[in-house]
Homo-oligomer: A and B are copies of this chain.
Amino acid sequence: MKSKKEESELGFGTKTSSQRSRLINKDSSFNIDRIEQSRLGSVSIYHSLVTMTWWKFTLFVIVYFFVINILFTCLYYFTGPEGLKGIEGTTEYDKFFGSFFFSTQTFSTVGFGSISPSSHTASSIAALESMIGVLGYALATGLLYGRFSRPKVRLLFSDHAIIAPFKDGKAFQFRIANKMRNSQISDMECRVTLAKLENENGVMIRRFRPLELELKKIVFFPMTWTINHPIDENSPLWGMTEKDLMESDAEFMILLNGFDDTFSQTVNTRYSYTYEEVIYGAKFISVFGQNKNGQVVQDLNKISQFEKVAF
């Protein structure tokens, strides 16, 4: 009994909400709300810049570029644009744009020289801007590298998990595939925890039960893997009907980790199936086939395909 107790807290608490909701979102984040004073929580800016989408990141870079340049344009303009020689035109409009273009040329260190600082003030501001510019690009280098080199497992999960016939009984199964065509994973390991409500002295409490897998780890993961939990007497699923799954608000929480061969780094990914995403009585259709040369092929389109079976 102790081993069951062991997983029973898990940081999600045992309280059940009046509104049913999943514990792990489809994007692998935890579905939990935080209340906190600002001094307690914190956000890593680097984390955010590295994990945001490319659209947001590009926008961030452009905004950053404009804000810095407008700032320095104002500095040149209000400390006297006559400190810059080579600006064509004599209107204020021309002077402002001349200052702006000089700023962009300084910030990117291209420094054509057609516009150049002549006063000490302008020269000093330009020295500062070029230094900030190069440091900014140093930062950009780090961020771009951080974004690109961040290891990711991109796994494709079957749309549904299933309760399938297995040997003389049943098994809980789901299927994963490696989405990436050009990366390979070794030592892929899977752990599944079942979150379900249990009646303890008349109170419904959420408990977390680890599920024993037929095969916890595979040495090679060429493309697909069907994870299989046989439902025997030791399984927390033993004797549970489809209705029981629903009433206990069951959620299957999954943690997968493996070793990415290309980058020699351990990578991991989270996923979950709620009871609504589990098909009771089904069998996965094989992804294996033969091509016209007689070679074995795997059809990724079939990853979620199953057929209904009766027990």
A308 interface contact, C-beta 8 A: no
A193 interface contact, C-beta 8 A: yes
Q: What does the 1/0 interface line of A129-140 toward B look like (CB < 8 Å)? A: 011011101111
**A:231-267 near B, CB below 8 Å:** 253, 255, 257, 259, 261-267
- Looking across the interface, which residue of chain B has its beta carbon closest to that of A37? B301
Alpha-carbon distance between A112 and B255 when the two chains are bound, in angstroms? 56
B303 touches A40 (CB 8 A): yes
Q: Return chain B residues, CB-CB under 8 Å to A42.
A: 154, 179-181
B127 touches A104 (CB 8 A): yes
Q: Return chain B residues, CB-CB under 8 Å to A291.
A: 33
A141 touches B145 (CB 8 A): yes
- With beta carbons under 8 angstroms apart, the residue of B13, B111, B142, B289 that contacts A296 is B13
Alpha-carbon distance between A29 and B262 when the two chains are bound, in angstroms? 11
Whole-angstrom distance from the CB of A198 to the nearest CB of chain B?
Answer: 17
Q: Return chain B residues, CB-CB under 8 Å to A137.
A: 134-135, 138
Q: A19-B293, A108-B131 are in contact. Are A298 and B32 (CB under 8 A)?
A: yes
Alpha-carbon distance between A54 and B9 when the two chains are bound, in angstroms? 38
A305 interface contact, C-beta 8 A: no
Q: A30-B223, A113-B114, A268-B186 are in contact. Are A108 and B133 (CB under 8 A)?
A: yes
Copies in the complex: 4
B148 touches A145 (CB 8 A): no
Q: Return chain B residues, CB-CB under 8 Å to A223.
A: 11, 30, 32, 34
Q: Return chain B residues, CB-CB under 8 Å to A261.
A: 28, 268, 270
Q: Return chain B residues, CB-CB under 8 Å to A65.
A: 131
**A:136-160 near B, CB below 8 Å:** 137-146, 148-152, 154, 156
Q: A42-B180, A266-B264 are in contact. Are A300 and B120 (CB under 8 A)?
A: no
A220 touches B127 (CB 8 A): no
A10 touches B218 (CB 8 A): yes
Known: A19-B294, A104-B123, A104-B130. 6 other contacts (CB 8 A): A11-B225, A24-B220, A34-B181, A44-B183, A112-B116, A187-B255
Interface centre among A126, A264, A303 (most CB of B within 10 A): A264
A306 interface contact, C-beta 8 A: no
